[in-house]
Amino acid sequence: MPEAQTEHTAYIALGSNLGDKRANLEKAIELLGSIPGVQLKRVASYYRTAPLGGPVQDWYLNTVAEVSTVLEPHRLLAALLKIEEKLGRVRTVRWGPRTIDLDLLLYGRREICDAALTLPHPRMTGRAFVMAPLAELAPGLILQGKTASELAGELARSQSIEKLDPTYY
């Protein structure tokens, strides 16, 4: 009898600021749900956000997806990178504009720090565009001694972020 694979909850940030941003997010979400070993559970609202760092560029459309997966973290990351490639992501300028960006934020309670992957994502708690949609999905999640909701509220006071009306998407 085959051994049952353990399912893990993971959170993935999605962002786009080139081309049809909404279509880019929708296609990435569709592809995310089609990865073998990954089940798409929920997707937060879309947020319009100002870019942080990098060159002058257009605003972003961001969200966070919750998935259940039997894939190990590095295999899940590899699948996310394939989605980026399929949707035309070209990495030229750090923090530059992109058709799609998929970041693995959390994978259960797993902590990893190697050349390919750091979990939890090292910069997520300082980014409103990550914390606001994450707080929708997991408001009581504790990160750095605060809830996701508390962090989202604090960041929203200092970073430009706007929750979009559901009729937008």
Contact predicate 14/42, CB 8 Å? no
58 catalytic per annotation: no
The residue from 22, 48, 75, 103 that is catalytic is: 103
Question: Is 20 in the active site?
Answer: no
Sequence-distant (6+) residues with CB within 8 A of 101 are 13, 14, 15, 16, 84, 89
Nearest-CA neighbor of 50 among 123, 129, 130, 125?
129
Q: Which of 91, 101, 109, 123 is catalytic?
A: 101
Integer Cα distance of 128 and 50 in angstroms: 10
CA distance 151 to 125: 7
Q: Is position 110 annotated as part of the catalytic site?
A: no
- Active-site residue, selected from the candidate residues 98, 109, 110, 127: 98
Q: Is the peptide bond before 97 cis (omega within 30 degrees of 0)?
A: no
Question: Helix, strand, coil proportions of the chain in percent (round to 5)?
Answer: 30, 25, 40
Is-contact 166 44, C-beta < 8 A? no
Residues tagged active-site: 89, 98, 101, 103
